[in-house]
């Protein structure tokens, strides 16, 4: 390899760190935009795809960057983030530090890589993640409704018990306690139980 390159990828920018095939010194770092045009310009600035080895961490951005670099003729490896060696006490994280650390480990052969999926497989994975997120949201909503209904039922039961006790002692508190379920509480209960007519439209 002529040049080793690591990319710290974010939504709006990419920090690139480079090291020559041999020799010491600190990696050179530069920041570019996360656009196809900027990435193409970076590859040209580094002398073209021949002899380049590029890596970046797998993340929420997916594998489009891998596919772009591959189409440009660049060797690209996608790093498994959970398998990156971490030095004890090294907790300071910045884009530049991460890029420098990654390219040093890359050149030293200390990284593990993932197998990029096909676009179809990646789309299926995204669909399954979305379904799991919706299931989790549905379960959380059911729990919130259940807790609200239990709280409302408990409040009504306490009011009824207090009303019976007051009647036994001849106190007029019975009628006031039986009305402890306010219109707001009733509306909350109704909204939790009754379907929204707008949903069926």
Alpha-carbon span 61 to 69, nearest angstrom: 14
Q: Domains of the chain by range and CATH?
A: 3-116 (3.30.420.110), 120-193 (no CATH)
* pLDDT tier, 144 (very low <50, low <70, confident <90, very high otherwise): confident
Instruction: Say which residue the tokens 């207090």 belong to.
Output: 162
The tally of CA atoms less than 13 A away on the side-chain side of residue 6 is 25
| pTM score over 0.75 | no
User: What is the mean predicted confidence (pLDDT) over 108-136?
Assistant: 92
User: What is the mean predicted confidence (pLDDT) over 109-128?
Assistant: 92
pLDDT-above-70 percentage for the chain: 76
Among 58, 52, 68, 48, residue whose Cα is nearest residue 5: 52
Between 69 and 2, the higher pLDDT residue: 69
User: What is the mean predicted confidence (pLDDT) over 79-102?
Assistant: 90
Among 15, 115, 102, 13, residue whose Cα is nearest residue 53: 102
Q: Three-state DSSP class for 3? A: strand
What SS3 string covers 62-120? Answer: CCHHHHHHHHCCCEEEEECHHHCCCCCCCCCCCHHHHHHHHHHHHHCCCCCECCCCCHH
pLDDT at 80: 97
Work out whether the CA dihedral 65, 91, 81, 52 comes out positive or negative: positive
């Amino acid at each position: 390899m002529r040049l080793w390159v690591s990319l710290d990828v974010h939504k709006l920018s990419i920090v690139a760190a480079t090291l020559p095939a041999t020799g010491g010194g600190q990696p050179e770092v530069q920041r570019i935009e996360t656009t196809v045009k900027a990435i193409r310009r970076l590859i040209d600035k580094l002398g073209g795809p021949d002899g380049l080895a590029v890596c970046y961490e797998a993340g929420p951005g997916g594998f489009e960057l891998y596919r772009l670099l591959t189409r440009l003729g660049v060797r690209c490896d996608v790093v498994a983030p959970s398998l990156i060696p971490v030095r004890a006490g090294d907790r300071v994280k910045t884009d530049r530090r991460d890029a420098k650390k990654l390219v040093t480990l890359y050149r030293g052969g200390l990284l593990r890589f993932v197998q990029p999926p096909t676009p179809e497989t990646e789309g299926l994975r995204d669909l399954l993640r979305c379904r799991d997120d919706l299931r989790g949201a549905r379960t959380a909503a059911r729990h919130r409704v259940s807790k609200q209904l239990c709280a409302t039922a408990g409040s009504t039961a306490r009011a009824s018990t207090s009303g019976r006790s007051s009647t036994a002692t001849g106190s007029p508190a019975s009628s006031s306690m039986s009305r402890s379920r306010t219109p707001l509480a009733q509306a909350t209960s109704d909204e939790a139980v009754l379907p929204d007519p707008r949903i069926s439209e």
